[in-house]
């Protein structure tokens, strides 16, 4: 049994010896247990994680976080990770996510239906307007044709009267 390392340098030497001896498993030399804060600190330094403490807007997650913090401080007499509560929290969040996405999909379907109805109404209105424009154009053309027919009739009469008058001479 090896003596426990007393300084940081001793810890590093012991780790180096274990690596040199071909040990493949990582041995934790730190006697302090991990806490939520130490994990966040590690993630912040190693992964550039930003603070999320003020960004949690889900009630089950906030409750779970508070319980974890209380457990870490030993208030509840429970020092372990509460997997049951974590599972419940995860299930609640998943259900909320499913509900929210279902509502969004439902709203998208309603919008799609409204869009189709609006398009059909617009096309019907456009068709009705087109028919009205065509009817008006047809009436105008018919009126002009009637005027031209009258003028042609008058010209024919004028030409016949000119022919009759010219035969007299």
Residue indicated by tokens 């609640």: 92
Residues in the chain: 169
Mean pLDDT score across all residues of the chain = 76
What is the rounded CA–CA span in Å between residue 10 and residue 14? 6
Question: pLDDT by residue (tens digit) across 39-77?
Answer: 777 766 765 545 555 566 667 777 777 777 776 666 555
Residue 27 pLDDT level (bands cut at 50, 70, 90): very low
Average pLDDT (150-161) is: 93
Query: What pTM did the predictor assign?
Result: 0.35
pLDDT at 1 over 50: no
The candidate with the shortest Cα–Cα distance to 56, out of 36, 81, 32, is: 36
Average pLDDT (95-119) is: 92
């Amino acid at each position: 049994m090896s003596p426990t390392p007393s300084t940081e340098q001793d810890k590093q030497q012991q780790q180096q010896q274990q690596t040199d001896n071909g040990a493949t498993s990582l041995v934790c030399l730190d006697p302090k247990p991990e806490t939520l804060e130490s994990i966040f600190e590690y993630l912040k330094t190693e992964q550039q994680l930003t603070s999320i403490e003020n960004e949690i807007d889900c009630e089950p997650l906030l409750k779970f976080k508070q319980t974890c913090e209380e457990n870490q401080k030993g208030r509840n007499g429970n020092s372990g990770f509460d997997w049951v509560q974590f599972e419940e929290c995860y299930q609640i969040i998943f259900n909320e996510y499913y509900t929210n996405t279902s509502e969004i999909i439902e709203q998208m379907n309603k919008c799609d239906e409204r869009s189709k109805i609006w398009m059909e109404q617009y096309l019907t209105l456009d068709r009705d307007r087109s028919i009205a424009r065509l009817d008006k154009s047809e009436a105008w053309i018919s009126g002009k044709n009637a005027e031209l027919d009258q003028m042609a009739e008058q010209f024919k009469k004028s030409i016949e009267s000119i022919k009759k008058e010219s035969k007299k001479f």
